């Protein structure tokens, strides 16, 4: 078996914050990085070329959605996910588990895996750790995630421990399957990306001792890198920050650390301060479509009547196409008129805000002034009240 093209090099540290380069089969990603979410093979309301123009180096694809439609077997026949969607940079796919828990109908979790009915046509499916690995091998993403069991918040310690332990057992099965896939020993899979890395996932709800046990157990299985799952599920931000803080020390410093499904701009800064390197979240894209814009002075809701004749750009400190070209008054008009362009221009801005925040974070770490950046970032955001 040839050596995996996956690697990670930390180039700068500042406190617990790290700057580095993650290399994948489809190229390098500067970290800390934010991954826009491309649920169904497209980041909603923005073209790939605009995404590239914003500097997005990696996107996320949702295994649950792509498995159900158009199907991972079909995508494999069409040359893999990169070729199918026309995106040549890195892609990370999740395991599908989170959507099974949040979207699918009549799901039933057992030791074997998660049985569920499709939210599209009601068809019955069984997602096992092996199946999640197979689907992602068919998709040919650069980073595949193991199937985990994510509990809701709040969750008692007992059920949280049970889910964490099942996640570890599933992780062992997923790793075994990945080894077999890499050895071309799984006939049902068409590998389009032989350089696919596999990340483990730490669970354990809000219990530091469970998180430590989960991290140690995951690391013992020897994944290419590790994620923290089961956060941003309704717990207060301080609790999330505390759990991140108490988990990252048990994850190897030589591997990227991925905080799944997080979060607000503040969450990104606070999590980088605690040693996180990778993020994904639907907030910038989903909120754009409902008219909420992230700005350097807080969130604004473009529907607000106060913007009816406001000729200022959404964020005067922003240099994106939307802010260079359009006023709040025009964006409000487009939103109220139901124009598709409202979603596109808002999405462009919000993603630029997130990606630019990551660039500024990386610069601050490189110049060893992350703490002053962090302070200024929070102060500026809190200076102005956020729109309702």
Catalog residues that contact a copy of itself under the rule CB under 8 A.
Answer: 40-42, 44-49, 65, 69-70, 74, 77-79, 84-86, 308-309, 311, 321, 325-327, 329-330, 333-334, 336-337, 339-341, 343-345
CA pseudo-torsion sign 24, 30, 33, 39: negative
Q: Provide DSSP, 272-341.
A: HTTT--EEE-SHHHHHHHTTEEEETTEEEETTSGGGTT--S-S-TT--SHHHHH--HHHHHHHHHTT-HH
Name residues whose C-beta falls within 8 Å of residue 298's C-beta, 6 or more positions apart in sequence: 381, 382, 383, 384, 385, 386, 387
The rounded distance, in Å, linking the Cα atoms of 6 and 27 is 9
Chain position carrying tokens 């040549």: 88
List for the chain the helix, strand, coil content (%; round to 5): 45, 20, 40
Q: Under a CB-based contact definition with an 8 Å cutoff, are residues 58 and 92 in contact?
A: yes
Chain position carrying tokens 């310690």: 157
60 vs 164, beta carbon nearer a copy of itself:
60
Closest CA to 205 of 172, 162, 248, 169: 162
The rounded distance, in Å, linking the Cα atoms of 227 and 204 is 12
Least distance to a copy of itself, CB of residue 344, Å: 6
86 vs 249, beta carbon nearer a copy of itself:
86
Least distance to a copy of itself, CB of residue 289, Å: 8
Least distance to a copy of itself, CB of residue 291, Å: 15
Q: Under a CB-based contact definition with an 8 Å cutoff, are residues 226 and 251 in contact?
A: yes
Active-site annotation holds for 280: yes
Closest CA to 280 of 232, 246, 332, 320: 232
44 vs 246, beta carbon nearer a copy of itself:
44
Least distance to a copy of itself, CB of residue 86, Å: 4
Active-site annotation holds for 315: no
Least distance to a copy of itself, CB of residue 351, Å: 14
* Bridge pairing between strands 17-24 and 7-14: antiparallel
- Count CA within 13 A, CB hemisphere, residue 111: 2
76 vs 164, beta carbon nearer a copy of itself:
76
Chain position carrying tokens 């996956």: 6
Give me the catalytic one of 94, 134, 267, 277: 94
Closest CA to 44 of 350, 373, 364: 350
77 vs 369, beta carbon nearer a copy of itself:
77
Least distance to a copy of itself, CB of residue 309, Å: 6
Give me the catalytic one of 50, 72, 280, 356: 280
Active site residues: 94, 280
């Amino acid at each position: 078996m040839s050596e995996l093209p996956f690697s990670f090099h930390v180039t700068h540290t500042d406190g617990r914050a790290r700057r580095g380069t993650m290399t994948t089969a489809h190229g390098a990603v500067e970290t800390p990085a934010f991954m826009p979410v491309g649920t169904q093979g497209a980041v909603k309301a923005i073209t790939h070329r605009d995404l590239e123009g914003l500097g997005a180096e990696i996107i996320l694809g949702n295994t649950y959605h792509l498995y159900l439609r158009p199907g991972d077997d079909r995508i494999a026949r069409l040359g893999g996910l990169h070729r199918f969607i026309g995106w040549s940079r890195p892609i990370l796919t999740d395991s599908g588990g989170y959507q099974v828990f949040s979207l699918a109908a009549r799901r039933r979790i057992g030791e074997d895996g998660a049985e569920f009915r499709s939210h599209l046509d009601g068809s019955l499916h069984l997602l096992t750790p092996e199946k999640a690995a197979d689907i992602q091998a068919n998709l040919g993403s650069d980073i595949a995630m193991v199937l985990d069991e994510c509990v809701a918040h709040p969750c008692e310690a007992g059920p949280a421990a049970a889910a964490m332990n099942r996640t570890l057992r599933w992780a062992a099965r997923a790793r075994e399957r990945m080894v077999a896939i890499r050895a071309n020993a799984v006939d049902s899979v068409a590998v389009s990306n032989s350089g696919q890395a596999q990340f483990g996932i730490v669970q354990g709800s809000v219990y530091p001792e469970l998180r430590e046990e989960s991290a140690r157990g995951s690391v013992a299985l020897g994944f290419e890198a590790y994620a923290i799952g089961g956060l941003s599920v309704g717990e207060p931000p301080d609790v999330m920050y505390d759990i991140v803080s108490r988990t990252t020390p048990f994850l190897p410093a030589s591997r990227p650390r991925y905080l799944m499904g997080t979060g607000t701009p503040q969450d990104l800064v606070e999590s980088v301060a605690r040693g996180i390197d990778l993020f994904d979240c639907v907030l910038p894209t989903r909120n754009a479509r409902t008219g909420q814009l992230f700005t350097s002075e807080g969130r604004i809701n473009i529907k607000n009547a106060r913007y009816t004749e406001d000729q200022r750009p959404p964020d005067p400190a922003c240099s994106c196409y939307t802010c260079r070209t359009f006023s709040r008054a025009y964006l409000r008009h487009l939103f109220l008129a139901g124009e598709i362009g409202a979603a596109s221009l808002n999405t462009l801005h919000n993603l630029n805000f997130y990606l630019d925040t990551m660039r500024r974070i990386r610069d601050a770490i490189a110049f060893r002034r992350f703490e002053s950046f962090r302070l200024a970032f929070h102060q500026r955001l809190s200076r102005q009240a956020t729109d309702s």
